[in-house]
Amino acid sequence: MKRSIIVFLAVSVSAFAYACSDDSTTPGGNDTDSGAQAEDASVSGVDGSSFDDAGTESDSGQAMDGTVFAVDSGDAGLVVIDATAGNVPDASGLTGQLFHYGRFVSNGVSNAGRLVFPTVVENVLPLGGVDVTAFDVASNGAKIVYASDATVKGRYDLRTASADGSGAGLLVGLKNGGRSVSLAHYSPDATKVAFVSDDATAGAKDVYVVATAGGTPQVLISPLRGAGTATKLNSDQVVFSRDSRYIAITGDYLVDNVFQLWIYDTVMTTLTEIVSTAEAGVPNGGPVGVVNPLAWDAGGRLYFTASLGTDGAPSAFHLYQATVGAGKSVVTGTLTNAEQVGSFGISPDGNTLVASITDAAGAYPYALYTLPAGGGATTAILPAGYVYNAANLTPNPDFAKPMVFSPDGAKIAFVADYQAANADYELFVVANQANSTPVRLFKVTSGRDAKWIAWSLASTRVAFTSDVGATSTGNARLFLTNDIVNADQALSPVITTPAGGGMFAAPPFWGP
């Protein structure tokens, strides 16, 4: 099989969190989009999912209402969009704010920015301090939570502010200098924030939850570590359920690179193990266990892909669902005509799954199917005999990037090497109905990829990151399609990046 075991960041305000990857075909690697500092990074999708970069980038994410958020160095101002360079985006039909995150001002610090439509003004959020190590936006887009050293240089406390960065205040002050909050997620109802910090032990990242109203101390919710090097046994993804009651946590707390899965109940204050170290197996060249995106549906079920030894086929990646009461099970329908599942996604209403699935013999390619949340009969999205690039014997969507439904649920955007001769991931969009032929919106150059995706609020355009045209592989810039109809669009980056800089391994996000 082409798929071998390897792995942004999970931001809680939505139901699909994306497990960050190395932008390769294998789960468990580390995304190199920006060359960022080593921080936890997780992002949540508008459908209630999460993603995590396994500790290689900084945090950013997407709110339940579709907002995108990112971190900022604290230098308020504007980034000049050069009309002569051809990178002023077409604002026709666009409203709201496109948030993005990374080292797009300089290569030395991380910044959060927002592109305001239809005026097309680029703002750098004024969050204070030298750098920002975590960021998230409340589901209504009114408040942000972030980490910066605005209070004590070199100590990155958890802070809140209005969405424009004004009215900042301290939510959790760390006890020790040199420590940081490296990930922060609002609950969908914005009453809680889950965050990751090494305040107790330098380099050892634990998960906490705190009320956004303040006045109540944070509560440690991650499991106890096993014996070994604490700085190697850490949290990975942190994702709230849609009803804000449950928090999914992945991490290698017992054995380095063996990622377990737990669900924490914020009402009963209990932590339930879903995937154990024994089930996850032993690392063989990369991380194992639950290393790819997590997603919650409208019925309170958590979804994940993993190759486990308990299902009789430890070499195959299956799509699982889990609850605290029922434990985990393979999603019904995903094995009817398939050996294993690659990338997947969940619709904005949380009622429909889309998954890339191989056939029963394990032969390529990975085709696309939809099915009801919770499992059921599958619908083949691609037409029979869909023509892939004949030079690519193993075409598939990027396993570590989620497939993303448009806000109106009518389209699905994804990155795949369907038409590339090599494992270069290009941007596609396909109608959410049977026998639909994908349109390749953006063709990449050899050795480069389309990466993280965000739909516009009106479902008419797609923002995405790509390292096409960057000074080095992995240094992603921000792009915006002209439409979702025309193939192989000639696009200039909306936001360029300095040499050595780049957008972090996380999707851009739209907000009203």
Q: What is the pLDDT of residue 328?
A: 96
pTM: 0.85
Q: Are 292 and 21 in contact (CB under 8 A)?
A: yes
Domain total in the chain:
1
- Looking at the domain assignment, is residue 190 inside a domain? yes
Average pLDDT for the chain: 80
- Looking at the domain assignment, is residue 9 inside a domain? no
- Looking at the domain assignment, is residue 252 inside a domain? yes
How many Å separate Cα 146 from the centre of its chain?
Answer: 17
Which residues make Cβ contacts (< 8 Å) with residue 60, sequence separation at least 6? 8, 9, 11, 41, 43, 68, 69, 70, 71, 101, 112, 135, 504, 506
Nearest Cα neighbor of 211 from 195, 228, 229, 197 is: 195
Regions of the chain where pLDDT drops below 50: 1-14, 18-84
Domain with residue 82: its CATH number is 2.130.10.120
- Looking at the domain assignment, is residue 4 inside a domain? no
Q: What is the pLDDT of residue 310?
A: 61
Q: What is the pLDDT of residue 217?
A: 93
Give the residue numbers spanning the domain of 31.
Answer: 15-511
Q: What is the pLDDT of residue 176?
A: 94
Q: Are 31 and 399 in contact (CB under 8 A)?
A: no
- Cα gap 241→192, rounded to integer Å: 12
Q: What is the pLDDT of residue 24?
A: 29
Q: Using one digit for the tens of pLDDT, what is the confidence trace for 47-65?
A: 334 433 332 233 233 332 2
Pairing of strands 258-265, 288-289: parallel
Q: What is the pLDDT of residue 213?
A: 92
Phi, psi of 312 (to 5 degrees): 85, -5
CB atoms within 10 A of CB 114: 27
- Looking at the domain assignment, is residue 6 inside a domain? no
- Looking at the domain assignment, is residue 66 inside a domain? yes
Q: What is the pLDDT of residue 236?
A: 92
Q: What is the pLDDT of residue 31?
A: 36
- Cα gap 423→392, rounded to integer Å: 8
Nearest Cα neighbor of 194 from 93, 262, 114 is: 262
Q: Using one digit for the tens of pLDDT, what is the confidence trace for 257-286?
A: 999 999 999 999 999 999 999 998 877 777
Q: Are 51 and 82 in contact (CB under 8 A)?
A: no
How would you label 8-26 residue by residue, b for 16+ Cβ within 10 Å and e otherwise? bbbbbbbbbbbbbbbbbbb
Q: What is the pLDDT of residue 50?
A: 42
